[in-house]
């Protein structure tokens, strides 16, 4: 994109980068109280049947995803005008979603700065190997990667590993403030959990909280996965990498049904978000609708997004994702040539 067009694009987006405290407060009201109400309703329904409780907990998980979007915007400093208020609300919502605010804020900032850059993978993103890397890796590395990319592992064990292991630990070189925030989050999660167990019992707590966290975690991983891994997604080496292309061509517009769009806080407009992380979630749709160049982003739907499950490796030559089945054919061809 030419510099003039890029400048014009940023000029159109800039008015939407300011947080609207009234809109943010309204979102807090229509998200947090319903979440807590559903949690209580799930508990009360246990006296009737656990099969009523689980569907209620699943709905509550949808609201927890919306809580996470508030947390996410706070990490970008885009939810409230006041920085301290963003940090406070971000830490509290981080406790509710089991995400340490300072730790994830740093990792997510790195993700935005390096998204689609093949030379800077590994922080805040999903593990992606290129075709050449896979072909040149050991049998053990291939097995590890295949297990990691297996849908059962990624979307089944992934939420458990993320919530209970990686989110609970700091990196070795983490600064004191980041460490303290993670410790505060962990202690708060433990304290609230023990209090609820004391009040309602372990069985009720486990059925409700585990269902909510697992479903919300699975949905979160799916959203993060599908919005960067579609067939013609943009990936480039450092020398060719471009921030704007990474945002518009490397992030999808996930066109969801209205209810799901609302629960996921418009995060489906991921191309807009990556182009300007300062735009609050409640402005993303408006920016997309009023900025024609952004409407050129790859659009995926619930149905078409299911195809992304088969995308396992990135082919740098063809500029597309390929499946393990396709890579087997390449390996057979190589063996034939070598023979």
DSSP 127-196: --EEHHHHHTS-HHHHHHHHHHHSHHIIIIIHHHHHHHTGGG---TT--HHHHHHHHHHHHHHHHHHHHH
Neighbours of 270 (CB within 10 A): 23
Alpha helices by DSSP H, the chain: 3-13, 21-29, 32-45, 50-75, 83-97, 101-114, 131-135, 139-149, 151-152, 158-164, 176-200, 202-205, 211-226, 243-248, 258-263, 270-275, 284-290, 302-305, 324-338
CA distance 28 to 15: 22
CA distance 214 to 135: 34
CA distance 326 to 3: 39
Neighbours of 254 (CB within 10 A): 25
Q: In angstroms, how far is CA 7 from the centroid of its own chain? A: 28
> Counting Cβ atoms within 10 Å, is residue 202 exposed (0-12), middle (13-18) or buried (19+)?
exposed
Can you give the pLDDT at residue 4? Answer: 55
CA distance 30 to 326: 46
> Phi first, then psi: what are they for 227, rounded to 5°?
-85, -5
H or E segment and range at residue 299: strand 299-300
268: closest CA among 231, 294, 242, 241?
Answer: 294
Per-residue pLDDT of the chain (339 residues; tens, 9 = 90+): 445 566 677 788 988 999 999 999 999 999 999 999 999 999 999 999 999 999 999 999 999 999 999 999 999 999 999 999 999 999 999 999 999 999 999 999 999 999 999 999 888 889 999 999 999 999 999 999 999 999 999 999 999 999 999 999 999 999 999 999 999 999 999 999 999 999 999 999 999 999 999 999 999 999 999 999 888 889 999 999 988 888 888 999 999 999 999 999 999 999 999 999 999 999 999 999 999 888 888 999 999 999 889 889 999 888 999 988 888 777 776 654 443
Residues 95, 97, 101, CA angle at the centre, nearest 5°?
55
Query: Which residues are paired to 314 by β-bridges?
Result: 130, 321
Can you give the pLDDT at residue 335? Answer: 53
- Alpha carbons within 13 angstroms on the beta-carbon side of residue 292 total 2
Neighbours of 123 (CB within 10 A): 14
CA distance 245 to 203: 49
Which residue range(s) make up the domain with 167? 1-338
Q: How many domains would you assign to the chain?
A: 1
C-beta separation of 283 from 81 below 8 A:
no
Neighbours of 17 (CB within 10 A): 15
All residues at 6 or more sequence positions from 174 whose CB lies less than 8 Å from its CB, including other chains: 103, 182
Tell me how far CA of residue 205 lies from CA of 213, 214, 274, in angstroms.
12, 13, 37
Question: Which pTM was predicted?
Answer: 0.93
């Amino acid at each position: 994109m030419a510099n003039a067009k890029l400048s014009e694009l940023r000029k159109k987006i800039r008015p939407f980068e300011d947080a609207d405290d009234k809109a943010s407060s309204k979102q807090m009201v229509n998200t947090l109280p319903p979440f807590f109400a559903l949690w209580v309703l799930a508990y009360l329904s246990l006296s009737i049947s656990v099969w009523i409780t689980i569907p209620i907990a699943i709905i509550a998980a949808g609201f927890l995803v919306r809580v996470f979007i508030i947390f996410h915007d706070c990490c970008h400093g885009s939810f409230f005008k006041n920085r301290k208020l963003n940090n406070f609300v971000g830490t509290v919502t981080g406790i509710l979603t089991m995400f340490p605010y300072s730790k994830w804020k740093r990792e997510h900032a790195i993700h935005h700065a390096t998204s689609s850059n093949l030379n800077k993978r590994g922080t805040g993103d999903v593990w992606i190997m290129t075709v050449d890397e896979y072909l040149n890796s050991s049998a053990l590395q291939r097995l590890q990667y295949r297990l990691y990319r297996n849908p059962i592992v990624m979307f089944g064990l992934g939420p458990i590993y993320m919530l209970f292991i990686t989110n609970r630990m700091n990196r070795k070189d983490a600064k004191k403030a980041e460490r303290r925030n993670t410790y505060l989050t962990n202690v708060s999660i433990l304290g609230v959990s023990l209090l609820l167990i004391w009040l309602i019992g372990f069985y009720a707590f486990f059925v409700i909280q585990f269902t909510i966290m697992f479903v919300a975690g699975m949905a979160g991983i799916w959203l993060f996965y599908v919005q960067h891994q579609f067939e013609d997604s943009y990936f480039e080496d450092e020398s060719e990498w471009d921030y704007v292309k990474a945002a518009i061509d490397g992030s999808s517009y996930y066109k969801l049904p209205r209810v799901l769009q609302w629960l996921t806080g418009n995060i489906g407009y991921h191309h807009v978000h990556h182009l300007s992380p300062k735009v609050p979630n409640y402005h993303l749709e408006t920016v997309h609708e009023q900025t024609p160049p952004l409407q050129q982003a790859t659009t995926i739907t619930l149905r078409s997004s299911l195809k992304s499950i088969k995308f396992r490796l990135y082919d740098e030559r063809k500029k597309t994702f390929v499946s393990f089945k396709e890579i087997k054919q390449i390996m057979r061809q190589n063996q034939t040539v070598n023979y």
